[in-house]
């Protein structure tokens, strides 16, 4: 073959390769379609299958019949084995002795307000013997009402530094007052620190999972018969290290702790939920959570309506109602940056309508670069109440076009309070009325 012929052949091959690449780009751009095939181990070219498995759980009829966590968990585990699908819970009250553990790809669906998940009364029993960090069992001073299968929280101070430690486990076997745990302790529980075993757990929980939808359920934490459980460990819904969860049209009430809490979870959407009467936070987007979207929810009569925890970024809280929360309607602070809070109605907060916290233990731990706009903030606190309180070295915050109103007597109330160290704050086009002092700016002092 002559040099000219070789060059011509190579050019032809190059053109054909480029054409193949262009066709591949076009196929990728189309996304999943019927032309794709499911190939073992390939999750990138997924087919949009129209139908998946649905398992029904009911108290009188269904694929699984029962009224407790075992029935619902059995359905979840069956669907999980097949990769993804729906668990539909029928009407009735389901009394849980352990959390429902949700896996990747689960769609948990109730029948609306008539599908009620609640929990047993909590019980607290002291440990009777030391357990080391490598142990997988505990010994109680009495068995009490604890049963194999129960979810428990082991709570006590660390014998090394004195700080509190919480270990969540399931009791999987028993010999008298000795119980085997589903996993090793990995922390020391020594009787010198008075550790206790408590029947505290979330109603719904998930760890290191993704792509889950929870909807059309009522969760009741049985507050009056349960001890408090810290929102960093529990709640009616508690998620840890999860991604792409949607919680929609869920009623979360009466938990002695948080209504909905998610820690280091990304792209969580909470929509059209009613979260009320919880002793802790209504909504708790927890430490390090990125891009949460909380829209159209009613957050009423909790301790704090919406609590932005540490390092929550690029979130949206929009068109929520926060009425009658005992402390703040909304609280934002430690490294919570680049968030948008708009078109919320915050009314009758016990202390402050919106609080920008003074989290001053680090170099720059404040709630910087946040937008508070087009909200209604009405009747905040007692006679010394403040509608919007901006503390610490908070900077680059915009407070714009809000209606901030006091319909009671002015007393000593303030519309907007700005601490001395606040930087680069924009306050514009707000309608402020009914206060003794519409704006108190300590930077002017």
Beta bridge pairs of residue 418: 390, 441
The secondary element (H helix, E strand) that includes residue 169 is strand 164-175
Quick one: 180 exposed, middle or buried, by C-beta within 10 A (0-12, 13-18, 19+)? Answer: middle
List the Cα angle 150/279/188 in 5-degree steps.
45
Confidence band of 43 (pLDDT split at 50, 70, 90): low
The secondary element (H helix, E strand) that includes residue 338 is none
Give the pLDDT of residue 340. 98
Confidence band of 199 (pLDDT split at 50, 70, 90): very high
Q: What is the pLDDT of residues 286-334, one digit of tens each?
A: 999 999 999 999 999 999 999 999 999 999 999 999 999 999 999 999 9
Distance of CA 129 to the CA centre of its chain: 35
Give the pLDDT of residue 163. 81
> Is the Cα torsion angle 412, 417, 421, 427 positive or negative in sign?
negative
Nearest to 147 by CA among 196, 98, 100: 98
Q: What is the pLDDT of residues 212-248, one digit of tens each?
A: 999 999 999 999 999 999 999 999 999 999 999 999 9
Confidence band of 7 (pLDDT split at 50, 70, 90): low
Separation in Å, CA 387 to CA 62, 350, 355, 356? 51, 10, 8, 11
Confidence band of 442 (pLDDT split at 50, 70, 90): very high
CA–CA distance, 328 with 107 (Å, rounded to integer): 33
CA–CA distance, 424 with 416 (Å, rounded to integer): 15
Please state the length of the chain. Answer: 445
Write down the mean pLDDT value for the chain.
Answer: 92
Quick one: 48 exposed, middle or buried, by C-beta within 10 A (0-12, 13-18, 19+)? Answer: exposed
Domain ranges of the chain: 53-120+202-444, 124-198
Q: What percent of the chain has pLDDT over 70?
A: 91
Q: What is the pLDDT of residues 58-98, one digit of tens each?
A: 999 999 999 999 999 999 999 999 989 999 999 999 999 99
CA-based R_g, the chain, Å: 27
Mean pLDDT for the stretch of residues 178-182: 96
- Provide the 3-class DSSP secondary structure of residue 391: coil
Confidence band of 196 (pLDDT split at 50, 70, 90): very high
Q: What is the pLDDT of residues 245-270, one digit of tens each?
A: 999 999 999 999 999 999 999 999 99
Nearest to 87 by CA among 64, 67, 112: 64
Give the pLDDT of residue 39. 76
For 53-120+202-444, which CATH superfamily applies? Single-stranded right-handed beta-helix, Pectin lyase-like (2.160.20.10)
- Provide the 3-class DSSP secondary structure of residue 6: helix
Give the pLDDT of residue 37. 78
Contacts of 24-29 with C-beta under 8 Å, sequence gap 24+, read none
Give the pLDDT of residue 116. 98
Tokens 């009671």, located at residue: 408
Give the pLDDT of residue 343. 98
CB 356, CB 417: distance < 8 Å: no
Query: Is the pLDDT at 200 greater than 90, yes or no?
Result: yes
Architecture of domain 124-198: Beta Barrel (2.40)
Q: What is the pLDDT of residues 150-173, one digit of tens each?
A: 999 999 988 888 788 999 999 999
Give the pLDDT of residue 359. 87
Query: Is the pLDDT at 8 greater than 90, yes or no?
Result: no
Residue 27 backbone dihedrals phi, psi, to 5 degrees = -65, -45
CB 84, CB 106: distance < 8 Å: yes
CB 390, CB 397: distance < 8 Å: yes
Q: What is the pLDDT of residues 12-37, one digit of tens each?
A: 555 555 566 565 565 555 555 556 77
CA–CA distance, 25 with 47 (Å, rounded to integer): 17
Query: Is the pLDDT at 114 greater than 80, yes or no?
Result: yes
The two three-digit tokens of residue 154, written as one number = 């082991």
- Provide the 3-class DSSP secondary structure of residue 390: strand
Mean pLDDT for the stretch of residues 406-425: 96
Quick one: 436 exposed, middle or buried, by C-beta within 10 A (0-12, 13-18, 19+)? Answer: middle
CA–CA distance, 189 with 209 (Å, rounded to integer): 29
Write the CB contacts of 305 (distance below 8 Å, at least 6 apart in sequence).
Answer: 281, 282, 283, 299, 320, 322, 325, 328, 329, 330, 346, 349
CB 250, CB 215: distance < 8 Å: yes
Give the pLDDT of residue 128. 93
């Amino acid at each position: 073959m002559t040099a000219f012929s070789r060059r011509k052949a190579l050019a032809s091959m190059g053109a054909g390769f480029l054409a193949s690449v262009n066709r591949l780009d076009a196929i990728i751009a189309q996304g999943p379609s019927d032309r794709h095939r499911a190939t073992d181990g390939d999750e990138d070219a997924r087919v949009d299958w129209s139908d998946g498995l649905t398992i029904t759980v009911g108290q009188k009829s269904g694929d699984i019949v029962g009224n407790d966590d075992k029935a619902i968990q059995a359905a979840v585990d069956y669907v999980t084995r097949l990769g993804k699908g729906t668990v539909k819970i029928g009407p009735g009250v389901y009394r849980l002795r352990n959390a429902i553990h949700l896996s990747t790809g689960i769609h948990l669906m109730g029948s609306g307000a008539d599908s009620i998940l609640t929990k047993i009364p909590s019980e607290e029993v002291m440990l009777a013997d030391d357990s080391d960090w490598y142990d997988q069992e505990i010994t109680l001073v009495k068995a009490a009402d604890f049963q194999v299968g129960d979810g428990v929280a082991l709570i006590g101070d660390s014998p090394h530094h004195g700080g509190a430690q919480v270990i969540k486990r399931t009791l999987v076997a028993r010999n008298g007052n000795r119980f085997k745990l589903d996993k090793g302790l990995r922390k020391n529980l020594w009787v010198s620190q008075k550790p206790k075993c408590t029947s505290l757990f979330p109603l719904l929980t998930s760890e290191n999972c993704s792509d889950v939808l929870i909807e059309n359920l009522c969760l009741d934490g049985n507050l009056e018969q349960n001890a408090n459980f810290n929102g960093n460990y529990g709640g009616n819904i508690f998620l840890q290290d999860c991604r792409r969860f949607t919680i929609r049209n869920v009623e979360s009430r009466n938990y002695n702790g948080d209504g909905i809490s998610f820690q280091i979870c990304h792209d969580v959407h909470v929509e059209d939920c009613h979260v009320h009467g919880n002793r802790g936070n209504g909504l708790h987007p927890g430490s390090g959570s990125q891009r949460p979207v909380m829209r159209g929810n009613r957050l009423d009569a909790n301790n704090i309506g919406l609590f932005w925890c540490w390092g929550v970024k690029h979130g949206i809280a929009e068109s929520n109602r926060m009425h009658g929360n005992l402390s703040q309607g909304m609280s934002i602070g430690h490294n919570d940056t680049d968030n948008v809070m708009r078109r919320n109605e915050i009314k009758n907060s016990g202390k402050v309508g919106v609080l920008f916290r003074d989290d001053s233990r680090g170099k720059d731990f404040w709630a910087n670069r946040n937008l508070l706009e087009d909200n209604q903030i009405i009747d905040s606190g007692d006679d010394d109440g403040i509608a919007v309180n901006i503390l610490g070295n908070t900077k680059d915050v915009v407070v714009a076009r809000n209606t901030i109103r006091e319909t009671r007597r002015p007393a000593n109330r303030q519309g907007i309070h700005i601490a001395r160290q606040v930087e680069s704050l924009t306050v514009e086009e707000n309608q402020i009325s009914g206060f003794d002092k519409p704006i108190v700016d300590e930077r002017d002092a």
